[in-house]
Amino acid sequence: MKLILLGTGAGRPTLERNVTSIALQFPERRNRFWLFDAGEGTQHQLLGRKELKLSKLEAVFITHLHGDHLYGLPGLLTSRSFIEGAGKLTVYGPAGISAYLEGIFAASEVRLDYELEIVELEDERTELDAGFCRIVAMELDHRIRCLGYRIVESPRCGALDTEKLARLGLPPGPEYGLLKRGESVTLADGTTVRPGDVLADPTPGATVTILGDTAPCGNAFELGREADLLVHEATFAAGLEEKAAAYGHSTIAQACGIALKSEAKRLVVTHFSARYAKEDVRRMVEEARSIFPEVYAAHDGAEFDVRTGFINN
């Protein structure tokens, strides 16, 4: 899985940062991807990313209904009608997302040329099964109802023991694919080769946690538990905890505290207040590494491999 930060600012866009949107891309699934939030201008951010084609967008997960996380969604969904090959798309979000979109589409007389499904997540905790991964959504602590999402890949098939297969007389070919899919193969001499005979143990899938706006809370810790990559807001600098609490946000120190407590491997902080320039954020992160060493500042266009960290910075 690859994480691409499309917007990393809070509240309103600046010359350096657009408002919130994150793409989660699945290169092994022909670069299909999901969006987490879609602040104003998100489709403009996508225009410069050839690997993020709207025809390959399968789902949008909205954390909450504040405008800096939502106002770009109607335009993006409408533009997708002009993209050849755009299939069904599902939008997940808190109660109210359906009325929001349907109201705008009705007022604008929008007619989409693809199937749009809207799923409102009303429970404190919801689990979704996407086949190749599992998604857990839980409520966070913000001024309005807000969700965080934990995406857990299914275990990966173990590697084939090619030397053993060669000794058995099975050269590379379609049978290798059958074995990796869990199917047995019969050789010419009648010998049956079972997947368990030639496959290493499965490896755990990667886990990425993407949180919406939140003050420190138990569900943020639960969603981030042992994640390979945790994305947490850091609207304010350390020392402004009282101000952060008043608005339902976190400081960078509090985000690092959640990552430390949850034993996440890496932390990406984002959603920076417009008061902070790039140099301010750099200094904030350097200071925060005394709390959690593997913390990195997001910026528009940054890419992360969920397992290994930065691709570019």
Matching residue, tokens 């599992």: 134
Matching residue, tokens 């705008």: 104
Q: Which residues contact 118 (CB under 8 A, 6 or more apart)?
A: 90, 91, 93, 97, 98, 101, 102
User: Which positions make up the binding site?
Assistant: 64, 66, 68-69, 142, 213, 271
How far, CA to CA in Å, does 275 sit from each of 9, 194, 210, 247, 259?
Answer: 10, 61, 23, 15, 24
Report, in angstroms and rounded to the nearest whole number, the Rg of the chain calculated over CA atoms.
22
Residue 182 tokens read as 């869990």
Active site residue 68: yes
Q: Which residues contact 22 (CB under 8 A, 6 or more apart)?
A: 3, 4, 5, 6, 7, 35, 36, 37, 210, 231, 270
Tell me which of 37, 68, 228, 300 is the catalytic residue. Answer: 68
User: Which positions make up the binding site for Zn(2+)?
Assistant: 64, 66, 68-69, 142, 213, 271
CA distance 31 to 289: 33
Beta-sheet pairing, 57-61 with 32-36: parallel
- Give the CB-side neighbour count of residue 228, counting CA atoms within 13 A: 18
Within 10 A of 128 (CB to CB), how many other CB atoms are there?
17
CA distance 207 to 154: 9
CA distance 136 to 125: 7
Query: Which residues are designated catalytic?
Result: 68
